[in-house]
Amino acid sequence: MRKEYHQMPKTIAAKKAQKKYIASRKRLSLLFTNEEYAKLCEMAKAQHTTITGVIRKELKLNGE
């Protein structure tokens, strides 16, 4: 048996894929004090990454 696939125009398929990708990303807004921000900057430099990378890594380690 051959499976039938529904063909969509590429633009519509691309738009749907983009919406799914955007929805799959978790948006997060955080406020930091100057001391906390400085600490994150130091951690980012030590790990050769960005502040966002440090936050993501910490969240993964904490299982959130």
Domain borders along the chain are 30-64
Report the distance separating Cα 48 and Cα 57, nearest Å.
13
Bigger pLDDT: 5 vs 14: 14
DSSP per-residue codes, the chain = -PPP-----HHHHHHHHHHHHHHHSPP------HHHHHHHHHHHHHHTS-HHHHHHHHHHHTT-
The whole-number pLDDT of residue 27 equals 58
Indicate the pLDDT class of residue 64, thresholds 50, 70 and 90.
low
Total length of the chain: 64
Residue range 8-59, pLDDT digits in tens: 566 777 777 766 666 556 555 677 788 888 888 899 999 898 888 888 888 7
What is the model's pTM? 0.46
The whole-number pLDDT of residue 45 equals 92
